[in-house]
Amino acid sequence: MKFIPNYIITSKIASYLMRIEAAKEKVLHLLLTVSMLSFSS
């Protein structure tokens, strides 16, 4: 049986997806060291 997804990406979902991608880019460009991360807990 072949998987054929059936879904609709609405403008609201697209907006949320763009926000997620923007947040991921911000995290990727942060210059965090291991010692900085250890203080966050």
If we measure between CA atoms, which residue out of 26, 7, 6 comes closest to residue 18?
A: 26
- Which residue type occupies 26? K
pTM of the full predicted structure? 0.56
pLDDT at 20: 96
Task: Judge whether residue 28 has pLDDT over 90.
Answer: no
Longest dimension (CA), the chain: 50
Between residues 21 and 35, which one has the greater pLDDT?
A: 21
pLDDT at 13: 96
Average pLDDT over residues 2-20: 94
Between residues 30 and 20, which one has the greater pLDDT?
A: 20
**First CA to last CA across the chain, in angstroms?**
46
Q: How far apart are CA 4 and CA 30, in angstroms?
A: 38
Task: Judge whether residue 1 has pLDDT over 90.
Answer: no
